[in-house]
Structure 1
Amino acid sequence: MNHFSSDEIRPRRRGLKALIGLLASAALTAALMAVASPASAQSSPTGVDVSNWQGSINWTSVKNAGIDFAYIKATEGTSYRDPRFDDNYPGAYYAGVIRGAYHFARPSYSSGSTQANFFASNGGAWSADNLTLPGAVDLEAPPSGARCYGLSTTQMRNWISDFYNTYKSRTGRDVVIYTTASWWNSCTGSWTGMAAKSPLWVAHWGASSPALPAGWSNTTWTFWQYTSSGSVSGIAGNVDRDHFNGSQARLLALANNT
């Protein structure tokens, strides 16, 4: 997320012990880093996802730190707009970071169509400009209340389909689905109906590879949020870190719908 008995050579023994200790510490550090930042995440495009909680962000520093892409919170439910979105979204663009917007879903508030329209009208739109990813819908348990928002698995599937169809009608793009395997499988009844449509952004922290929701496979997930405690120059405190499952050229192709 590592012999000698005479007084004359005791300093050498202490030096040897110190060296062994340093090597052991280095090995432990490398092992911990391997969990926090998987090898695959170090060889392909890397990203962050941010919201108002990260405070003011220096996007030039973020870009210079090697970050290729970012997802930025735009909206939640039917009325909330992230207060830092209007700074973060253009800030990432002008720094040369490929960015996309995301919507935190509240399926108990209103229909999928209503929330997709709200999202698309408040930052979630798309344009082919080499720097804009399709919007994402964040589907996870709420901070409080029913894990599945009080919806049956059939109702949740219908809500997601409603959001997807409306977003695609508005933007021409397939919405990216952010979720975890456990939430998706329990709240949609292990539904496989979106796997052929939506790119998957899966959250699974501290693992060497992500557990996947029903329908997606090791070759079909698109983004992986692999830690919530990363650090990046230009962002104060911890930040979610993400890995793209492909090359820089493939990331650009996703951005441009090519």
Structure 2
Amino acid sequence: MTKKRRLKKEFKWGLALVASLLVVCIAFCIFGSNDDSVDRGEVVDGIDVSHYQGKINWEKVRDKHPNIQFVYIKAIEGSSRPDENYRRNFEEAKKAGFMVGSYIFYHTMTSPERHFEEFKKLAPKSEQDLIPVVDVETLDHKSPELVRKRLIRLLDLMEQYYGKKPIIYTHDWFYNKYLKCKRIDKHKLMIANYNGKEPSCDYCIWQFTETGRLKGIKSHHVDLSRFNKNYTIADILLVND
């Protein structure tokens, strides 16, 4: 191989290396930050987590994100699928100083009574800082009327035990299409809407992204939420001093 050809080849390799580094730098700027949504200046009042987020460093979350006011942690799905990380997340988040509450993922196929009994075992009133949340995202191939009827029964059971009306979590479109009625409208709403626009209903908490990133939570995206301007942390406390 002649010197000229060798230099030409080395030059091409050099250009390829520079191009590769440039691509890596651009990708890091776009995707690599572990604090994506917060660094963009988003207002974040709270988060919700489950086993999907893996092992969370709650002290790091607290130290790096001091504006986070509340944390909701998944306790159980239906009546037979407790979240494997619930107890650890709950205890460590409280130890780190967060105001912590629990949520249940609702399935119409399971009776309201069984939902309530299993949730109460995992999330006793005495441990909770926040009003519990019922997550409703599917009809489970049931009619909207039956979903509402069984959901209202569960909400009533939980209110009798916890002393306050549970908060309902759902998507904006799902609430407007399937859940909206006089009985359910009495409950505060935590509404998921990811298109950048505020929910169309009268919400208490807006979950504005499901792809947030926070320092201390490395293994998965995390849901980020903010309060409606007319609500504060005091509105979701289970016991008001």
TM-score range, shorter chain: 0.7 to 0.9
How far apart in 2 are the matches of 1:232 and 1:41?
Answer: 12
TM superposition shift of 1:69: 1.0
How many pairs were matched up? 202
Task: Tell me if the contact between 2:72 and 2:103 (Cα under 8 Å) persists in the aligned partners.
Answer: yes
Task: Tell me if the contact between 2:152 and 2:183 (Cα under 8 Å) persists in the aligned partners.
Answer: no
What is the match of residue 78 of structure 2? 77
Alignment of 1:1-258 (within 5 A): 42=43, 46-64=45-63, 65-66=65-66, 67-108=68-109, 110-123=110-123, 125-127=124-126, 132-141=129-138, 148-188=139-179, 190-196=180-186, 198-212=187-201, 217=202, 221-236=203-218, 237-246=220-229, 250-258=232-240
Structure 2 unaligned residues grouped into runs of 5+:
1-29, 31-36
The letter of the residue matching 1:140 is E
TM superposition shift of 1:99: 1.1
TM superposition shift of 1:252: 3.5
Runs of 4+ off more than 3 Å: none
Deviation readout 1:162-200 (Å, 9 max, x if unpaired): 111111122212111000122223333x4242122x211
CA RMSD of the aligned region, Å? 2.5
How far apart in 1 are the matches of 2:159 and 2:49?
Answer: 24
How far apart in 2 are the matches of 1:256 and 1:211?
Answer: 26
The letter of the residue matching 2:131 is P
How far apart in 2 are the matches of 1:104 and 1:222?
Answer: 19
Task: Tell me if the contact between 1:61 and 1:234 (Cα under 8 Å) persists in the aligned partners.
Answer: yes
What is the match of residue 33 of structure 1? none
How far apart in 2 are the matches of 1:40 and 1:247?
Answer: 21
How far apart in 2 are the matches of 1:91 and 1:134?
Answer: 19
Partner SS state of residue 178, structure 1: strand
Deviation readout 1:42-72 (Å, 9 max, x if unpaired): 2xx6111110010000111111222221110
Identity of aligned residues (%): 27
TM superposition shift of 1:255: 1.2
TM-score (norm 2): 0.76
How far apart in 2 are the matches of 1:239 and 1:132?
Answer: 21
Task: Tell me if the contact between 1:112 and 1:162 (Cα under 8 Å) persists in the aligned partners.
Answer: yes
How far apart in 1 are the matches of 2:151 and 2:157?
Answer: 10
Deviation readout 1:63-101 (Å, 9 max, x if unpaired): 122222111000011111101011100111111111110
Task: Tell me if the contact between 1:126 and 1:134 (Cα under 8 Å) persists in the aligned partners.
Answer: no
